[in-house]
Structure 1
Amino acid sequence: MRIIYRILANSIAIYAATLLVPGFYVIGGWTDFLLAGLALGLLNFFVKPILKLVSFPMIVLTLGLFLIIINAIVIWLLGVVLSFVVIDNLISLMFATIIIAVANQLLYSFMDSA
């Protein structure tokens, strides 16, 4: 059940980013948002730990700020893997990354408290 909540949280966060960030789009309906949420969860589970391990010195040197870059790489990979996730430019990618991270943090905290 927890996995379903995470997929929904990822989907809602991606939807929020598409509403707030010009240049970040998901072409399609709610099923595409759910698929994007699932793909983001899989990328976070498989790719993100490898990126963290490889870039550990940069994470330490920047006191954790490099994690934003790692999140941006994961969101960029989401756009590469799924053709219906469109990222126009680097600025859109960075803003979408921040919004998705904040939205996920808020949604995960609500899920953990419930």
Structure 2
Amino acid sequence: MNFLIRLLVTALAAMVSSYVLPGVKINSFVTALILALVLAILNLLVKPILIILTLPATILTLGLFLFVINAIIILLAAKLVKGFAVDGFFWALIFSIVLTIVSGIMHSIAGSDND
């Protein structure tokens, strides 16, 4: 149940973020739900591999390279999800930051417990 709530909150946060950022376009809420699911799968499968492969760069930049990895994940999701478009790397980077902030605020408002 907690996973479904997290998906819904992430989808809503993606919709809010797409309204705020002109370089990101999401066609509908269903597309946002699919995007949230794809992002969850990519974060589960691809992100750990990218983190291990780029560990020296991540250590050298004191963890700031993780923002680049998040932007790559967003760009990969844009290729996989129809109806979701990002205009470039810069917009993917900004979208990942805004999505993290907005979903964090929404999760704190929703009061989801971390059992």
| Counterparts in 2 of 1:19 and 1:65: CA distance versus 1, 3 Å | same
Assess if the C-alpha contact under 8 Å between 2:75 and 2:92 holds in 1.
yes
Structure 1 unaligned spans of 5+: none
Q: Is the 8 A contact 1:10 1:40 kept in 2?
A: no
Name the residue aligned to 1:72. 71
Q: Does 1:52 align with 2:51?
A: yes
Percentage of identical aligned residues: 30
The DSSP-based 3-state class of the residue aligned with 1:22 is: coil
Task: Tell me the SS of whatever aligns to 1:64.
Answer: coil
Shift of 1:100: 1.1
CA distance in 2, matches of 1:49, 1:108: 23
The whole-number CA distance in structure 2 between the counterparts of 1:56 and 1:91 is 22
1:90 aligned residue: 89
* 1:3-14 equivalent positions in 2, closer than 5 A: 3-14=3-14
1:2 Cα deviation after fit: 1.6
Distance 1:10 1:43 in 2: 14
* Superposed displacement of residue 104, structure 1: 2.9
Structure 2 residues without counterparts, runs of 5 or longer:
none
What does the per-residue CA deviation read over 1:61-107, in whole Å, with 9 as the maximum and x for residues that have no partner? 11110110010011011101112111112322221111012223334
Letter in 2 for 1:102: I
- The count of aligned residue pairs is 113
Return the offset for 1:108: 4.1
Structure 1 counterpart of 2:100: 101
**RMSD, aligned α-carbons:** 1.8
